[in-house]
Amino acid sequence: MDTTFSTNDFELIVCEHQPGLLAFSRRLVHSREDAEDVVQETFLRAYRSLRAMSTERRSKLRFRPWLYTIARNTAWNFLSKRRLTCVSLSHYEGVAVELPQLVEPDTPETILADFLSREAVEAALSRLPRHLRDAAHLRYVKGLSQPEIARAFGQPIGTVKSHLSRALHRIRRAFETAA
């Protein structure tokens, strides 16, 4: 066991990543209280892993995608135990959605950001299948890059690109039919 990893180091990781993980987990489990439990379990698992990890491996670790992977798996485990089948959209009331800072003009992301309200994006994302919703949330709400999402999901980059493309297509189609 490597003891060079201190609790102070971990506190910095928690401070930096807790808000994003909480928002991500809330999207998955649809309840603030449950999301807090998921994030707590995520950090507990991460801490145990980091303490057992070599300094060399820890220095190469990309914390953000690694933590999101742990959070996603923890949330899915939580949901599989609860067997949630239906979620009311009222759970999303009052939830602030942060749209990413987009700099490329005329991309699908900027088009969506220009034409859709935050509430509409939330509702559209909530109707996507879980694998598309998770990929879209990490990319367009949390701002992770496609390679980071691929690492977080343990999938090839092509699969992530496909999921993102399908998610955008379904969101566009939903808004075209609603208009």
Domain ranges of the chain: 7-82, 89-178
The tens digit of pLDDT for each residue in 136-177 reads 888 877 788 889 888 888 889 999 999 998 988 888 887 777
CATH number at 7-82: 1.10.1740.10
Two tokens at 89?
């959209």
The tens digit of pLDDT for each residue in 20-46 reads 999 999 888 888 888 999 999 999 999
Q: Which of these ranges, 2-6, 13-17, 114-118, 151-155, has the smallest mean pLDDT?
A: 114-118
Average pLDDT of span 73-99: 55
Distance of alpha carbon 95 from alpha carbon 119, whole angstroms: 9
Q: Determine whether 36 is exposed, middle or buried from the number of CB atoms within 10 Å of its CB (0-12, 13-18, 19+).
A: middle
The CATH number of 89-178, from 1.10.10.10, 3.40.50.970, 3.40.50.1860, 3.40.1350.10, is: 1.10.10.10
